[in-house]
Amino acid sequence: MKGLFTALMVSYDQDGNINEKGLREIIRYNVDVNKVDGLYVNGSTGENFMISTEEKKEIFRITKDEVKDQVQLIAQVGSVNVKEAIELAKYATDLGYGALSAVTPFYYKFDFEEIKQYYNSIINAVDNKMIIYSIPFLTGVNMSLSQFEELFENEKIIGVKFTAGDFYLLERMRKTFPDKLIYAGFDEMLLSATVLGVDGAIGSTFNVNGKRARQIFELAQQGKIEEARAIQHVTNDLITAVLDNGLYQTLKEILKDKGVDAGYCRQPMKELSSEKIAVAKEISNLFL
Ligand code: NGF
């Protein structure tokens, strides 16, 4: 399960329904053009926290059907509704997903014992492996090194998607857990995370910029830091422009510019204005 995973975008029509044809095109673009090692399905980038259980299943099913065994698949099943998380974990496992991931439970201020019970309940219900999805800036859930250590006592918990800028903690985790998988979650920090020894990365911008992510990751692993840095600089010019214009909407417009039917974002995310659509096209022409 090492390597580069695209946090998969989902195509929705203007009424917010899943556009199956568009979703299949996004998947093909990632497998055939970006040539990533795998897909991270129903994460934040898939707009997962705005859709129903049935829609989540539909996305898992379509993705597996399109990919077959061409690349690795991780199913993000996390939900504050643990019963839903278990139902999705069973569904994705039956479909043949290679690993599961679950966001730390958010909104209520769960204590660590509750968080631990959440992970163990999900993963012990299925014959699969779990990657913790840690994204403190969105969930407000910060876990310490010793808390990760306690979660990792369950051998079915095999790694973490580390979407944070705390590189002191990342370094401590790399040293403490040499056998666990650590994925970088911030694309704009991929070089620094790779230097610290992550096993892979999971990124939204890989939907359009997967080739540069591959170059950064491999050059850094080979110790060619200056070359990797030059590509990270261009990548971050791209990411900064995308973030300024509206992250997911702009990535979708770029995909459309490349001929992929990426559709719209789900409400309450708003549509881009015509000015912002023009900016997205400029970004696409300039960088991709
Ligand atoms: O989009 C977010 C969260 N994070 C993604 C990535 O961690 C994937 C990251 O690529 C992800 O969280 C998911 O889909 O579950 C950023 O978009 C990127 O580095 C730009 O900041 O906001």
Q: What spacing in Å lies between the alpha carbon of 151 and ligand 1's midpoint?
A: 23
Q: What spacing in Å lies between the alpha carbon of 66 and ligand 1's midpoint?
A: 23
Q: Which domains does the chain have, with CATH numbers?
A: 3-224 (3.20.20.70)
Residue with tokens 């259980």: 53
Cβ-based neighbour number of residue 44 at 10 Å: 19
* 205 within ligand 1 shell (Cβ under 6 A): yes
Q: Where does residue 123 rank: exposed (0-12), middle (13-18), buried (19+ CB within 10 A)?
A: buried
* 185 within ligand 1 shell (Cβ under 6 A): yes
Dump the DSSP string for 164-211: S--HHHHHHHHHH-TTSEEEE--GGGHHHHHHTT-SEEEESTHHHHHH
Residue with tokens 């660590």: 112
Out of 12, 91, 119, 133, pick the active-site residue.
133
* 261 is an annotated ligand-binding site residue: no
Q: Residue 281: in which H helix or E strand, if any?
A: helix 274-287
ipTM greater than 0.85, yes or no?
Answer: yes
Structure tokens at 42: 């129903």
* 93 within ligand 1 shell (Cβ under 6 A): no
Over the chain (288 residues), the average pLDDT of each successive run of 10 is 97 97 98 98 98 98 98 98 98 98 97 98 98 97 97 98 97 98 98 98 98 98 98 98 98 98 97 98 98
For residue 166, what are the contacts with CB-CB under 8 A and spacing of at least 6? none
